[in-house]
């Protein structure tokens, strides 16, 4: 018996509880998804969800931090002598420092990412593998280097998956009913269901992370959410809290059956 089935048995149902539950839940929602939800092949992509940072900007739709590293020759004398160090290397070092600060400043819940120990390895890997565009060279010798670090992680970083029923949901799509600022972790709540945190490796829901998209850009989510996502509406609360509707409440009541990512659609 899988842990998912055991959950159903412990709640007073048969060992087939979760399989039947998820089949009914996905089946009841699927017509609505097909009518206006998760098949967006003909939709026009919206702008990504981007927010400014002190050292650059964060793209919450692609889960990337972008900065501009700068390297400038230092004038040493009236003859125009400059430091022997390559301005490109200066720009690369500057970009690395800016990315480190930007990644550490990303909002998780009420904490910045740099203070969350569970993210140390992920942020270090993101910084180590950052990518840069071709440098821009200016007439005074200055070099600008646009650089990007990804804070998206996959199932491998989220840990071994919990065994699931073959028809269990593969992701959660949350449509916001009001404004909310993006963050890396959410607290999901619903009437009659326990609160569940989602978004970080090891979380029961959304262990593959939280991605934020604008309304109309849902077509980018198909690969992330898998073939059987659950769609729910949610009202934003305080400090990353979301109050889900009835479909979301059902997911929280049986949270062990959802191991994919969480996607949030901005209003």
Q: What is the pLDDT of residue 162?
A: 53
Cα separations in angstroms, 161 against 100, 174, 200, 205: 30, 22, 14, 11
For the chain, give every domain's residue range.
Answer: 3-45+158-266, 64-150
Q: What are 21-59's pLDDT values in tens digits?
A: 445 555 544 444 433 344 333 344 568 999 999 989 999
Q: What are 93-105's pLDDT values in tens digits?
A: 999 999 999 999 9
Beta pairing partners, 244? 234
Q: What is the pLDDT of residue 208?
A: 79
Q: What is the pTM of this model?
A: 0.77
Which stretches of the chain drop beneath a pLDDT of 50?
1-17, 21-22, 28-44, 155-160
């Amino acid at each position: 018996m899988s842990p998912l089935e055991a959950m159903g048995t412990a709640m007073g149902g048969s060992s087939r509880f979760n399989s039947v539950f998820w089949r009914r839940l996905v089946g009841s929602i699927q017509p609505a998804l097909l009518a206006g939800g998760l098949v967006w092949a003909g939709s026009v992509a919206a702008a990504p969800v981007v927010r400014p940072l002190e050292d650059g900007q964060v793209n919450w739709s692609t889960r990337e931090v972008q900065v501009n590293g700068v390297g400038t020759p230092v004038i040493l004398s009236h003859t125009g002598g400059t430091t022997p160090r390559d301005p490109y290397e200066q720009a690369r070092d500057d970009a690395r420092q800016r990315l480190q600060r930007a990644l550490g400043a990303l909002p998780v819940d009420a904490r910045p990412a740099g203070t969350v120990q569970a993210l140390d390895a992920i942020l270090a890997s993101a910084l180590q593998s950052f990518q840069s565009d071709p440098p821009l060279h200016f007439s005074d010798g200055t070099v600008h280097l646009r650089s990007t670090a990804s804070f998206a992680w996959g199932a491998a970083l989220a840990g071994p998956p919990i065994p699931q029923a073959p028809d269990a949901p593969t992701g959660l799509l949350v449509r916001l009913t009001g404004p909310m600022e993006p963050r890396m972790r959410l607290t999901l709540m619903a009437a009659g269901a326990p609160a569940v945190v989602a978004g970080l490796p090891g979380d029961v829901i959304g262990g593959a992370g939280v991605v934020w998209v604008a309304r109309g850009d849902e077509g980018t989510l198909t690969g992330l959410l898998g073939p059987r996502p659950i769609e729910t509406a949610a009202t934003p609360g305080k400090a990353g809290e979301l109050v889900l509707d009835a479909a979301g409440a059902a997911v929280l009541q049986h949270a062990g059956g959802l191991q994919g990512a969480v996607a949030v659609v901005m209003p």
